């Protein structure tokens, strides 16, 4: 099978890194008080912007200042490396499809390639700045797709691509009988191994 996998908050624990940076920026750079907010049902991957109620220019300044540092510091989720390796050993093709977008300060694709190499994460193809993941998935003939984004998962399911949503704090309240929730990489590996789509 051809498996499409998101990177941030699916392979990585990006939330654990980006959210403290966002709080630091809100307090120290913007001089704002941290308000209570809902993080449990965010539609897109820009949850840190929505939670802190940043204006677009405030979000841009945050990313200009911290985007590179965050992408360098993120760590793989527990057992992600081993599970992806097992999937490859089963004969599956792994395509990483990430919305990581270009920066004026560094090369996002080069940084991601180096990070994947440093963390021993196997893949057959890497696609960055994926603005339309469904279109990419169709073009690449993806059989199974995994993401943490509610929006991306719903679009994939509507396109009749078997979709799993990775359990994170930003999608805890989301329920959809057509999209199975995955709680860990061993859980995901088990589900894909039992999938009846063949290789």
**pLDDT tens, position by position, 163-196:** 999 999 889 889 999 999 999 999 999 999 887 6
Strand 125-127: give its sheet, edge to edge.
125-127, 93-97, 2-5, 144-147, 162-166, 180-182
Q: What's residue 51's pLDDT?
A: 83
**Distance (Å, rounded) from C-alpha 15 to C-alpha 39?**
11
Q: What is the CA radius of gyration of the chain?
A: 17
Where do the structural domains in the chain lie, given as residue ranges?
A: 2-12+77-193, 14-73
Residue-wise pLDDT tens digits, 81-95 = 999 999 999 999 999
**Domain 2-12+77-193 CATH (choose: 3.40.50.1000, 1.10.1740.10, 3.10.20.30, 3.40.190.10):** 3.40.50.1000
Distance CA 5, CA 146 (A): 5
pLDDT of residue 199: 41
Lowest-pLDDT range, 120-124, 158-162, 166-170?
166-170
What's the pTM?
0.93
């Amino acid at each position: 099978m051809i498996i499409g996998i998101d990177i941030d908050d699916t392979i990585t624990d990006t939330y654990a890194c980006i959210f403290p940076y966002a709080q630091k920026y809100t307090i120290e750079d913007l001089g704002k008080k941290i308000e209570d907010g809902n993080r449990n049902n965010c539609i897109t991957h820009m949850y840190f912007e929505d939670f802190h109620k940043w204006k677009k220019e405030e979000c841009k300044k945050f990313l200009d200042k911290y985007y590179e540092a965050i992408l360098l510091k993120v760590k793989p989720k527990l057992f992600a490396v081993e599970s992806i390796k097992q999937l490859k050993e089963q004969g599956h093709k792994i395509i990483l499809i990430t919305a990581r977008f270009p920066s004026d300060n560094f090369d996002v694709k080069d940084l991601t390639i180096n990070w994947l190499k440093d963390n021993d994460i196997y893949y057959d193809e890497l696609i960055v700045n994926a603005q339309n993941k469904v279109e990419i998935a169709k073009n690449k003939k993806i059989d199974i797709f995994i993401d943490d984004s509610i929006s991306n998962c719903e679009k994939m399911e509507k396109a009749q691509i078997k979709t799993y949503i990775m359990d994170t704090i930003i999608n805890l309240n989301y329920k959809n009988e057509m999209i199975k929730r995955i709680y860990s990489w061993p859980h995901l590996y088990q589900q894909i191994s039992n999938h009846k789509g063949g290789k």
